[in-house]
């Protein structure tokens, strides 16, 4: 190794600062601003002393442990005493974890810089401060080795001041060591020394939009749009420009808005955020609760497992605020967390949440409190391998912070993935034991097959050896598929979002319980439900359907493929399926009736003419029939009809069509053309037997219980057996 004194002869301090700035420029992610005369970098705000101390303690707990023969720096065993004034503040914790995680990603490089600069051999410092040294070194080079600027009333900590003075004294040597490290790895910056997966993760995190859902219990969607418009925000279809104040509505969730990442600071200061009317949260959690919403009825309860963030529970509550549903959430054990959770739910306007202090695996499947739960939302702890910003996600969703050590290196080892997958499998199989539950929504933020498809498929296979309950099956997504790529990713009935510049990765699976064959519904009930839903609009299903069924030919229609969807549609597939099938059967029946009538009708030379070489066109009635079609068709007979006698209940009186010749009709062919006299036109009238003594044919011609059909060919008076078809 070269002597640092000779290195200092080659580079003066100014050159070393320039090298260090170039080496750390891409790593820091600062914004570069160019003017006509110069280029400068917008500096990040300086961290207070208390953040350094907290970050050093976090790093001490998640740092990469080395074997004794490979230890480079001894970090001691005693943590530093943090400042008690702000240690519990959410923003303070976030800053501390972000600083510790960034240091963890560059641990090897920073340790090499410290050793190469001879800082430990030149000074005597306690090993307990080594965590603080490496954390402050990361921030020091991130500031381009510029001094920290603090406010006058900022609290100072003696240990932080001691380390800061030490680093300032070795600034030149540290910058030289940083430059040599970059040259050794043949990298444009030390950022390029990181694993490729980590680099891609950082790139996505820098451009990932902000997702926020609207709390409709406190404000309407339109009010939010108007509020944002007054503050200068424009609504667009998609987020394409990152330099403007714009937002878009998410395609999967109607109450979720998307903002460019650079607007976060501005948005945090508006009243919509402060008043819990707009809540920032990862999109995957919104996809999960919207899937549950699509599966429940107005009075079904929901059980939420491993919800992580309380915002997820609140979102589920808001979506069901107009229902009589209850939202059960389990696993909130400490009393202080229970109090904080209830306080937050009250502020957000949630009123239907029930907190269970037991863990999910300890809750009995026949718990009397959960007898009306029809859907379980399972959000198991996962590796978060599909998340671009692990620190923010883990803090927001209260995930295991020990995962940060592996995520800083780009992934988890196989043994840890297997441990997580086993825990997820146990929770999913336990959810299948709840007898009243009809659906399970399983959602992770991982892209690992071991945590997603393998867990679900293994659980589905395992249930075959269970107790006497209808098994679960894999159901297609209930969310809209908004692109061809989403459709391709969902071909196997799993909903997936791959990590990208627009969203984190997400996996979602829906398991629904199969129908119990013993709970079959009668045809009468199915048709009644169909009529209530409007599926048989315009068609009356009564006794005539039973009569029609007996008149079917012996040749049966080809069987239809079974449908595994809604029970109503399952029955309709057998007994009619939908309105079009019913109409088709009626038309087929009437066609057979017409052939029978034609062969038995009385011959009349004046009225029976060969149909060869002629064509007839039927004019549709100007108004739809008010009388249902099924109850109107009759077979003409040749016996005189008694119009006075009332129709017996439950029977149809057969009527005989008659022919009436009306006077010629004159109408112009064109606005300017001559008026042409048309020959006499024949009309057919069909009558329905009256229940009173007045003949129905003496009533007004506009009666809504008759049809008028006109033959378009005057030269051939062909009587159709059923002129109303």
For each of the domains in the chain, give its residue range(s) and CATH number, in order of start: 49-194 (no CATH), 282-517 (3.40.50.150)
d(CA 580, CA 560) in angstroms, rounded, equals 14
Give the phi and the psi of residue 684 in degrees, each rounded to 5: -110, 140
Q: Looking at residues 507-533, what average pLDDT do you find? A: 76
DSSP H stretches of helix in 191-327: 196-207, 221-230, 264-267, 271-274, 283-293, 310-319
Say whether pLDDT at 19 is over 50. no
Q: Looking at residues 444-472, what average pLDDT do you find? A: 87
In the structure, what pLDDT confidence band is assigned to residue 173 with cuts at 50, 70 and 90? very high
Instruction: Give pLDDT, residue 652.
Output: 58
CB atoms within 10 A of CB 140: 24
CB atoms within 10 A of CB 283: 24
Pairing mode of beta strands 708-710, 666-668 = unpaired
How many residues belong to the chain?
A: 725
Find out whether 465 and 471 touch, Cβ atoms under 8 Å.
no
Q: Looking at residues 449-468, what average pLDDT do you find? A: 85
Least-confidence region, from 33-47, 155-169, 487-501, 657-671: 33-47
Tell me the per-residue pLDDT of 679-693, one tens digit each, with 9 for 90 and over: 444 444 444 444 444
Instruction: Give pLDDT, residue 163.
Output: 95
pTM of the model: 0.67
In 3D space, the residue among 589, 597, 551, 628 whose CA is nearest the CA of residue 720 turns out to be 597
In the structure, what pLDDT confidence band is assigned to residue 399 with cuts at 50, 70 and 90? confident
E strand map for 140-268: 210-214, 234-235, 246-249, 256-259
Coil vs helix vs strand at 328: strand
In the structure, what pLDDT confidence band is assigned to residue 259 with cuts at 50, 70 and 90? very high
Tell me the per-residue pLDDT of 472-501, one tens digit each, with 9 for 90 and over: 999 999 999 988 888 988 889 999 999 999
Tell me the per-residue pLDDT of 308-324, one tens digit each, with 9 for 90 and over: 889 999 999 999 988 88
pLDDT mean across residues, the chain: 76
Instruction: Give pLDDT, residue 699.
Output: 44
Give me the sign of the Cα torsion angle 637, 638, 643, 647: negative
In the structure, what pLDDT confidence band is assigned to residue 82 with cuts at 50, 70 and 90? confident
What are the CA-CA distances from residue 434 to residues 158, 469, 724 (Å)? Answer: 58, 10, 57
Query: What tokens appear for 230 in the block?
Result: 């007054």
In 3D space, the residue among 603, 269, 250, 295 whose CA is nearest the CA of residue 442 turns out to be 295
In the structure, what pLDDT confidence band is assigned to residue 653 with cuts at 50, 70 and 90? low
In the structure, what pLDDT confidence band is assigned to residue 11 with cuts at 50, 70 and 90? very low
E strand map for 104-168: none
Find out whether 509 and 454 touch, Cβ atoms under 8 Å.
no
What is the Cβ-side half-sphere exposure of residue 326, based on CA atoms within 13 angstroms?
11
Q: CB under 8 Å to 53, separation ≥6 — which residues?
A: 80, 81, 82, 83, 132, 157, 159, 160
How does DSSP assign 574-614, residue by residue? HHT-SHHHHHHHHHHHHHHHHHHHHHHSPP-TTT----TT-
Instruction: Give pLDDT, residue 662.
Output: 65
Question: What whole-number percentage of the chain has pLDDT above 90?
Answer: 41
d(CA 555, CA 409) in angstroms, rounded, equals 70
d(CA 465, CA 366) in angstroms, rounded, equals 19
d(CA 239, CA 24) in angstroms, rounded, equals 30
Tokens 């039927």, located at residue? 618
Which of 401-410, 633-642, 673-682 has the largest mean confidence? Answer: 401-410
User: Known catalytic residues?
Assistant: 445
Coil vs helix vs strand at 619: coil
d(CA 333, CA 132) in angstroms, rounded, equals 34
CA 683 from centre of chain: 59
Tell me the per-residue pLDDT of 330-359, one tens digit each, with 9 for 90 and over: 977 777 688 889 999 999 999 999 999 889
Max Cα separation, the chain?
128
The vertex-348 CA angle with 343 and 354, nearest 5°, equals 60
Say whether pLDDT at 368 is over 70. yes
């Amino acid at each position: 190794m070269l002597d640092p004194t000779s290195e200092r002869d080659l580079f003066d301090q100014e050159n070393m600062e320039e090298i260090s700035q170039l080496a750390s420029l891409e790593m820091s992610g600062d914004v570069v601003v160019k003017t006509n005369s110069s280029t400068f970098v917008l500096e990040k705000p300086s961290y207070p002393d208390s953040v350094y101390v907290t970050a050093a303690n976090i790093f001490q707990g998640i740092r990469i442990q080395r074997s004794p023969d490979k230890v480079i720096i001894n970090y001691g065993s005693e943590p530093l005493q943090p400042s008690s004034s702000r240690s519990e503040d959410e923003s303070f914790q976030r800053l501390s974890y972000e600083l510790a995680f960034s240091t963890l990603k560059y641990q090897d490089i920073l340790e090499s810089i410290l050793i190469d600069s001879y800082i430990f051999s030149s000074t005597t410092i306690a090993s307990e401060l080594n965590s603080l040294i490496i954390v402050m070194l990361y921030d020091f080079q991130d500031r381009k080795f510029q001094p920290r600027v603090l406010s006058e009333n900022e609290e100072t900590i003696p240990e932080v001041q001691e380390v800061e003075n030490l680093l300032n004294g070795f600034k030149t040597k540290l910058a030289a060591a940083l430059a040599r490290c970059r040259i050794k790895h043949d990298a444009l910056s030390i950022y390029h020394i990181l694993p490729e997966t980590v680099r891609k993760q950082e790139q996505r995190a820098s451009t990932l939009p902000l997702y926020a859902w609207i709390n409709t219990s406190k404000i309407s969607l339109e009010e939010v749009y108007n509020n944002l418009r007054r503050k200068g925000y424009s609504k667009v279809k998609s987020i394409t420009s990152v330099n403007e104040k714009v937002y878009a509505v998410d395609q999967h969730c109607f109450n979720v808005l998307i903002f460019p990442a650079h607007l976060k600071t501005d948005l945090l200061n508006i009243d919509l955020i402060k008043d819990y009317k707009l809540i920032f949260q990862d999109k995957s959690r919104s996809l999960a609760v919207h899937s549950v919403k699509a599966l429940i009825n107005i009075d079904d309860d929901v059980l939420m497992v491993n919800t992580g963030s309380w915002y997820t529970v609140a979102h589920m509550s808001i979506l069901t605020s107009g229902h009589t549903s209850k939202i059960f959430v389990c696993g909130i054990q400490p009393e202080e967390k229970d109090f904080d959770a209830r306080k937050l739910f009250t502020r957000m306007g949630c009123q239907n949440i029930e907190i269970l202090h037991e863990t999910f695996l300890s809750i009995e499947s026949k718990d009397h409190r959960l007898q009306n739960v029809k859907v379980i939302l399972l959000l198991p702890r996962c590796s978060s391998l599909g998340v671009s910003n692990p620190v923010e996600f883990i803090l927001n969703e209260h995930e295991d912070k020990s995962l940060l050590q592996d995520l800083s290196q780009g992934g988890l080892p196989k043994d840890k993935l297997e441990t997580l997958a086993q825990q997820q499998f146990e929770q999913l199989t336990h959810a299948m034991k709840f007898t009243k539950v009809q659906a399970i929504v399983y959602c992770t933020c991982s892209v690992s097959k071991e945590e997603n498809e393998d867990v679900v498929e293994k659980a589905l296979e395992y249930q075959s050896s269970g107790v006497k309950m209808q098994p679960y099956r894999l159901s297609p997504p209930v969310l809209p598929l908004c692109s061809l790529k989403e459709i391709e990713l969902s071909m196997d009935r799993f909903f997936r979002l791959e990590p990208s510049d627009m969203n984190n990765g997400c996996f979602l699976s829906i398991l629904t319980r199969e129908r119990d064959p013993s709970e079959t519904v009668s045809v009468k009930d199915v048709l009644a439900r169909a009529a209530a839903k409007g599926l048989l609009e315009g068609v009356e299903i009564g006794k005539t359907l039973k009569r029609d069924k007996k008149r079917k030919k012996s040749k049966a229609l080809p069987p239809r493929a079974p449908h595994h969807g809604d029970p109503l549609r399952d029955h309709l597939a057998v007994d009619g399926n939908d309105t079009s099938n019913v109409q088709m059967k009626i038309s087929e029946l009437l066609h057979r009736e017409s052939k029978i009538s034609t062969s038995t009708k009385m011959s009349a030379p004046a009225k029976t003419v060969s149909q060869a070489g002629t064509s007839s066109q039927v004019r549709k009635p100007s108004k739809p029939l008010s009388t249902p079609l099924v109850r109107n068709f009759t077979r003409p007979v040749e016996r005189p009809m008694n119009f006075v006698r009332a129709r017996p209940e439950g029977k149809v009186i057969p009527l005989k069509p008659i022919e009436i010749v009306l006077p010629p009709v004159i109408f112009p062919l064109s606005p300017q053309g001559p008026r042409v006299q048309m020959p006499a036109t024949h009309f057919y009238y069909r009558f329905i037997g009256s229940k009173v003594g007045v003949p129905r044919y003496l009533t007004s011609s506009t009666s809504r219980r008759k049809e008028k059909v006109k033959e378009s060919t005057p030269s051939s008076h062909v009587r159709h057996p059923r002129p109303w078809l």
